[in-house]
Amino acid sequence: MNVFAIGIGGTGAKCVESLVHLHAAGLITDTSGKAVRLGTFLVEPDQQSTLLARTEIAIDRYSKLREQLGNATESFAASEIDHYGSWSPLAGATPGINLEQVFAKAVLRNKASGLAALFDCLYLPEEQKAELDVGFRGRPPIGSAVMSRITLDKAAEAGSWKKFLGDIQTAAGSGDPPVIHLFGSVFGGTGASGVPTLGGMLKTWLQQQGLSRVRVHASLLLPYFDFDGQGDEGTGIHAEARNFQLNTDAALQYLANNGKDCFDQVYLIGSDIKARYEFSIGGRSQDNDAHVIELLATLGVRHGCDSTNGRDYAYVLSRTEENKITWEDVPSNEVVGLALARAARFAVAWKRNYSLEIDAAQNISAREFASGAPWIRRYFSLSEESKTKMEGRPSIRGQDQLALKKAIDGYAQTLMQWMRQLSGNTGIGFSQELLSGEQLTNDVTYANQLHNIVRGSARPTVDQHDDTVDRIKVQMDELSESDIRFRGVAGLADSLWKLCIASTNS
* 268-277 per-position pLDDT tens digit: 998 888 877 7
**DSSP-assigned letters across all residues of 336-371:** HHHHHHHHHHHHHHIIIIIHHHHHHHTSS-HHHHHH
Q: Categorize the per-residue pLDDT at 502 as very low, low, confident or very high, splitting at 50, 70 and 90.
A: low
**CATH, range 2-96+135-317:** 3.40.50.1440
Is residue 267 left, alpha or beta, with left meaning phi > 0 and alpha meaning psi from -120 to 50?
A: beta
**Residue-by-residue DSSP string for 113-173:** HHHHHHHHHHS-HHHHHSB-TT--TT-HHHHHHHHTT--HHHHTTSHHHHHHHHHHHHHHT
Counting residues of the chain whose pLDDT is more than 90, the rounded percentage is: 52
Indicate the average pLDDT of the chain. Answer: 85
Measured in residues, the chain has a length of 506
Distance CA 5, CA 465 (A): 42
Question: 127 or 357: whose pLDDT is higher?
Answer: 357
Give the single-character DSSP code of 428: T
Q: What is the pLDDT of residue 92?
A: 66
Between CA 491 and CA 304 the distance in angstroms is 33
Residue 201 in this model has a pLDDT that exceeds 80: yes
**Residue 231: per-residue pLDDT:** 46
The top-scoring range by mean pLDDT among 102-111, 166-175, 242-251 is 166-175
Q: Strand, coil or helix: what is 184?
A: strand
Instruction: List CB contacts of 287: < 8 A, sequence separation 6 or more.
Output: 50, 51, 54, 280
pTM tops 0.85: yes
Q: Is the pLDDT of residue 237 over 90?
A: no
Sketch the domain layout of the chain as residue ranges.
Answer: 2-96+135-317, 98-130, 336-499
pLDDT value at residue 503: 46
Interval 359-387: pLDDT, tens: 999 999 989 999 989 999 999 998 765 44
Q: What is the pLDDT of residue 504?
A: 43
